[in-house]
């Protein structure tokens, strides 16, 4: 049985002080939960989040990373830096970064490799637009994103990667994919992983993301190929995020 992994993506929300306020409540609310819990916070909140979650069941992640260790890349943060402060996870290829910062399958692939070299576990996001869904190319598009993202990644490395299926039309819109549609795409992703990695595919965590809330988490997370979720807006309130985690 695969474990359930629920990750929060705070996006560009919360100051360090607000992070402290959130964690003061949240740590207590989820202390007995057995699912894996990850909080992906803004860079500026990482140190305080790492400090406050020491000896808890919460893992901390970043929301992006550069593919170089150091250099003249103003405003960027390297995998070496994240590793150095004890970050465990990093979101790579979120659709907002693909849309607003020109991230491509190629840069996603480079970032995955760089993250793995520094013992960071990537949460790799894939997902189709509404137009792609409507013209029926979801399977082709998403499996191509997967193949391209994973070029040069071997089976041992693959075990450290989480895939998040996030239909773009469902992110931050309040529209959630139906549990059947979400599961179908997660299943296609697992089939693609089978083609690439054989039985290792059955161990890989595949999350669903896109307007997950307390009211729909259970039906989504209980589907056969959905192993938890990547949660944006609903991860900002400790009580709501806890209800999702305790689905």
Q: Tokens 């996603």 appear where?
A: 108
Catalytic residue of the set 96, 128, 166, 192: 166
- Confirm or reject binding of residue 166 to ligand PEP (CB under 6 A): yes
- CB atoms under 10 Å from CB of 100, counted, come to 9
**Which is nearer to ligand PEP, 120 or 217 (by Cβ)?**
217
Q: Tokens 């309040």 appear where?
A: 174
Helices (H) and strands (E) in the chain, counts: 11, 8
The minimum distance between CB 211 and ligand PEP, in angstroms, equals: 4
Q: Which stretch binds ligand PEP (CB under 6 A): 12-20, 128-136, 153-161, 210-218?
A: 210-218
CA angle 83, 86, 92 (to 5 degrees): 55
C-alpha of 189 from chain center: 15
- Confirm or reject binding of residue 231 to ligand PEP (CB under 6 A): yes
* 141: its two tokens: 């598009």
The minimum distance between CB 59 and ligand PEP, in angstroms, equals: 17
Contact (CB, 8 A) for 120 and 78: no
Contact (CB, 8 A) for 8 and 244: no
Q: Of 163, 201, 212, 244, which lies in the binding site for ligand PEP, with binding defined by CB under 6 A? A: 212
Length in residues, the chain: 247
- Is 187 known to be catalytic? no
**Which is nearer to ligand PEP, 172 or 198 (by Cβ)?**
172
- Confirm or reject binding of residue 230 to ligand PEP (CB under 6 A): yes
- Is 166 known to be catalytic? yes
- Confirm or reject binding of residue 232 to ligand PEP (CB under 6 A): yes
Q: Could you give the C-alpha distances from 240 to 11, 120, 152, 190, in angstroms and in order?
A: 17, 28, 39, 29
Q: Which stretch binds ligand PEP (CB under 6 A): 110-118, 139-147, 185-193, 206-214?
A: 206-214
- Confirm or reject binding of residue 9 to ligand PEP (CB under 6 A): yes
Q: Which residues contact 211 (CB under 8 A, 6 or more apart)?
A: 170, 171, 172, 173, 174, 175, 176, 233
The minimum distance between CB 70 and ligand PEP, in angstroms, equals: 28
- Confirm or reject binding of residue 171 to ligand PEP (CB under 6 A): yes
- Confirm or reject binding of residue 107 to ligand PEP (CB under 6 A): no
What is the Cα–Cα distance from 134 to 46, expressed in whole angstroms? 39
- Confirm or reject binding of residue 211 to ligand PEP (CB under 6 A): yes
Q: Which residues contact ligand PEP (rule: CB under 6 A)?
A: 9, 11, 166, 171-172, 209-212, 230-234
Q: Which residues are catalytic?
A: 94, 166
């Amino acid at each position: 049985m695969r474990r359930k992994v629920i990750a929060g993506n705070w996006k560009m929300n919360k100051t360090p002080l607000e992070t402290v306020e959130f964690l003061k409540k949240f740590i207590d609310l989820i202390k007995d939960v057995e699912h894996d819990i990850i909080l992906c916070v803004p860079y500026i909140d990482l140190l305080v989040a790492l400090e406050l979650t020491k000896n808890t069941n919460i893992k901390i992640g970043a929301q992006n990373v550069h593919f170089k260790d150091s250099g003249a890349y103003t405003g960027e943060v390297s995998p070496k830096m994240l590793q150095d402060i004890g970050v465990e996870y990093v979101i790579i290829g979120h659709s907002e970064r693909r849309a607003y910062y020109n991230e491509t399958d190629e840069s996603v692939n480079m970032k995955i490799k760089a993250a793995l070299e520094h013992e960071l576990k990537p949460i790799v996001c894939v997902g189709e637009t509404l137009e792609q869904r409507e013209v029926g190319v979801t399977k082709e598009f998403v499996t191509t994103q997967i193949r391209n993202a994973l070029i040069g990644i071997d089976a041992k490395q693959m075990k450290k990667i989480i895939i998040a299926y996030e239909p773009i039309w469902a992110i931050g819109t309040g529209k959630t994919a139906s549990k059947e549609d979400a599961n179908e795409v997660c299943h296609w992703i697992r089939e693609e992983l089978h083609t690439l990695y054989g039985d290792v595919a059955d161990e890989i965590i595949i999350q669903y993301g896109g307007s997950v809330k307390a009211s729909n988490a259970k039906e989504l997370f209980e589907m056969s190929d959905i192993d938890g979720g990547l949660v944006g807006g609903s991860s900002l309130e400790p009580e709501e995020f806890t209800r999702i985690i305790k689905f």
